[in-house]
Amino acid sequence: MLKTTGIYGVTALAEIVGCFLPYLWLRKGGSVWLLIPAAMSLAIFVWLLTLHPAASGRVYAAYGGIYVATALVWLRVVDGVKLSAFDWIGASVALLGMSIIVLGWQSKG
C-alpha cells in the first residue's frame, strides 16, 4: 500500500506540473518554452500510471484520491491558499476511498 501511494503521489505531481506550466504560459505570460517540460511531465505521468498491476479503471479510480490530496497540498504550498476544514475532510474522504480500492485489488493479488 505504501509503495502504491508513493507512486501515486509522484504521478499526481507529474500531472499537476504538466498542467500548471501551460497555465503559466497561457494565463501568466510565461514563455512558450514551458510547454516542453510540461509535455515531458505529462509523459512521465502517463508512464507512471502503467506501473500498477490492477486493471486500468481501478488504477484511475484509486489515483483520484491521491490526486485530490496532492492538489490541495499544491494549493497550499504553491498558490499560498490556506486550507479549510472542508478541504481537509474532503481529502480524508478521497484518501479513504483510494485505500479501500487499493486494498481490494491487493487482496486478490
pLDDT tens digits, one per residue of 74-93: 999 999 999 999 999 999 99
Look-up of cell digits 500498477: 52
Lowest mean pLDDT among 18-22, 73-77, 96-100: 96-100
Burial grade of 74 (CB within 10 A; 0-12, 13-18, 19 or more): middle
Dihedral sign (CA 19, 83, 77, 72): negative
- The pLDDT assigned to 92 comes to 96
How far is 46 from 33, CA to CA, in rounded Å?
A: 21
pLDDT tens digits, one per residue of 30-88: 999 999 999 999 999 999 988 877 778 888 888 899 999 999 999 999 999 999 999 99
How far is 37 from 20, CA to CA, in rounded Å?
A: 11
